[in-house]
Structure 1
Amino acid sequence: MSGHVSPTVRARRLRIELHRLRQEAGHTLQRVADLSDGAFNAATVGRWETGDRVPRQGDLRVLLEIYGVSGDRRGALQKLAKEAKQRGWWHAHRDMLKDGFGLYVGLESEAAAVQTYQSLYVPGLLQTEDYSRAAIRGIRMNEDPEGLEAKVQLRQSRQQRLTGRDPLRLWAVLDEALVHRQVGGPTVMREQLEKLVEQARLPNVTLQLLPYAAGAHPALEGPFYMLEFPDPQDAGVIYLEQATSGLALEAEDEVRRYTLMFGHLTALALSPEETDTHLTRMIDSYR
């Protein structure tokens, strides 16, 4: 897995920049199309700004001429467009990814940090292979063996971000119910909890259990991921995973709300040291 240079992140940054340039120029979508002398229409300009499509270099040159962009800024945007058209390492798995999850994997591959709350099962970045197989079988009852193994290996590939160059910082708050749900049976669960303890001792991984005693909390409505990126140009993203699709939230007020929510969860949860002790006891019970 190459990681670290994600076409998904590049495409996101490009569409944000193109929208900003048009706003700075004071043009409507239709006005940009009119100024292009038929090179493209308003709908196409709109798709470039929503990320549905990356402009070709020729179209981008016309667009930048209209916006009066030159010099280094022009070169940087042209480079962004080239990188956005590349294929990420996950492209080979695109057919098996549900709608929206390809976007998440692309963002995760270049993220500097991921913070997540999970209430149902261990997040993919921390799963053992056997736990992944059991979870996928449970969720997708008719999954064929080939598809099952491909999904398992995708999750294992994603985990390289935790130990490779410039490792991803992961902070996970896991609901206590998650460690009691026997996905795959006692042996699989024991091995999974052992992996959680092992991974939590990495310097870039923080793990906290949210105990039943915490009662009602801000994330009762469901799990979520928050992603932060190394480049300050790339604003944070909230990702919500659903049964058949995923949703990325980018508005500042939404990111702020989930940031506050995660802060509350970390305050309610057991400390990392208490979590280690609790998980170790659970491992002993599974023996």
Structure 2
Amino acid sequence: MAGKRTVLTAGLRRLSVLLNDMREQAGLSKEDVSGKTGINITTLYRIETAQARPQRRTLTAMLDLYGVTDQQRTDALELLSDALKPGMSRPYEASLTDVYAAYINFESEALSARHYQTSHIPGLLQTEQYAIAVIDTSMPKLEAAALERRARARLDRAAVLTKTDPLELWVVLDEAAIRRMVGGPEVMNGQLMRLLEEIKKKNVILQILPFEAGAHPGMAGAFTLLDFPNPADPELVYVEGIAGDELIEGHTEIRRFGVIFDQLRAMALSPRDSVALINDAAAHMR
């Protein structure tokens, strides 16, 4: 029987980084740890890359070997407790890829998101009818129950925009997304009206990148930059693609996507002018 699926969360990522740092500070290789504790070296690798949650006894054995302070031990055990809590994606994980499920978890804990989208309205701003039409078209062989679960996951994500400390969302949206007819005129008009309501929120900024802007650095595809309130959680980039989605870490890559986003928002219409363009698109949908 296959092992229990582990979907990445911020708590699990933080714990993996801490354990890697502790091992290195103790001057031990993974082989040393495996030889002294009996923990399989593959298991150690998976723990330190956040692909697996350590059992409490495994974590205790590692902490004992590393000779950590009482405070470090407490911190590690608290992170394990956090990592064991179900993420935002838990109810829908059977219908989601590991990367997308992890992204939902990270998004729910993020401080801000800078999102560029090329072809459709971003998931956080979609209506149910629009979400179903997008998913049904892009995944035509998906069973009805799975389609419904994916659509529900997409809609439930929007709670991050209205929670006590809401996500700060900045979207640059290609004009094609508001011009393309998805689900028919009624569905598309309803989606554009929803978009106009969502961008009234103080924590949501939207700019349309018009066709007249010509070639631009976002033509390779959609992406989202997430940053977090906890300094221990480094920024992430989520990249969408036909071949599969990807979560990217690393200062160089984060900086590259940050520069691209800055260029896109400089080329896009102002939020006020973007509202006018959305209203124009809506008028043509009626």
The TM-score range, normalised by the shorter chain, is over 0.9
- Alignment partner, residue 68 of structure 1: 67
Q: Supply the distance in 2 between the matched residues of 1:283 and 1:180 (Cα, whole angstroms).
A: 8
Q: Supply the distance in 1 between the matched residues of 2:8 and 2:46 (Cα, whole angstroms).
A: 17
Whichever residue aligns with residue 166 of structure 1, its letter is D
- Alignment partner, residue 30 of structure 1: 31
For the 8 Å contact 1:190–1:286, the answer to whether it is kept is yes
Whichever residue aligns with residue 17 of structure 1, its letter is L
SS of residue matched to 1:172: strand
Q: Supply the distance in 2 between the matched residues of 1:249 and 1:103 (Cα, whole angstroms).
A: 12
Q: Supply the distance in 1 between the matched residues of 2:40 and 2:144 (Cα, whole angstroms).
A: 46
Unmatched tracts of structure 2, length 5 or more: 1-6
Q: Supply the distance in 2 between the matched residues of 1:247 and 1:161 (Cα, whole angstroms).
A: 21
Runs of 4+ in 1 over 4 A off after TM superposition: none
Q: Supply the distance in 1 between the matched residues of 2:143 and 2:231 (Cα, whole angstroms).
A: 42
SS of residue matched to 1:270: coil
Q: CA deviation at 1:26?
A: 2.5
**Deviates most, 276-285 or 109-118:** 276-285
Deviations 1:114-158 (A, max 9, x none): 111000111110101111111111111123322222222111111
- Alignment partner, residue 18 of structure 1: 19
1:1-287 pair list within 5 angstroms: 8-36=9-37, 38=38, 40-243=39-242, 245-287=244-286
Q: CA deviation at 1:35?
A: 2.6
For the 8 Å contact 1:240–1:246, the answer to whether it is kept is yes
Q: Supply the distance in 1 between the matched residues of 2:200 and 2:91 (Cα, whole angstroms).
A: 32
SS of residue matched to 2:246: strand
Q: Supply the distance in 2 between the matched residues of 1:176 and 1:8 (Cα, whole angstroms).
A: 33
Deviations 1:56-89 (A, max 9, x none): 1111111112222122221011111122122224
How does the TM-score come out when normalised to structure 1? 0.93
Q: Supply the distance in 2 between the matched residues of 1:127 and 1:267 (Cα, whole angstroms).
A: 25
SS of residue matched to 1:27: coil
SS of residue matched to 1:109: helix
**Deviates most, 172-181 or 135-144:** 135-144
Q: Supply the distance in 2 between the matched residues of 1:19 and 1:237 (Cα, whole angstroms).
A: 19
Q: Supply the distance in 2 between the matched residues of 1:62 and 1:146 (Cα, whole angstroms).
A: 43
Instruction: Quote the sequence identity (%).
Output: 37
SS of residue matched to 2:114: strand
Q: CA deviation at 1:7?
A: 7.1
Q: Supply the distance in 1 between the matched residues of 2:254 and 2:25 (Cα, whole angstroms).
A: 24
SS of residue matched to 1:191: helix
Q: CA deviation at 1:233?
A: 0.8
- Alignment partner, residue 3 of structure 2: none
For the 8 Å contact 1:7–1:83, the answer to whether it is kept is no
For the 8 Å contact 1:7–1:85, the answer to whether it is kept is no
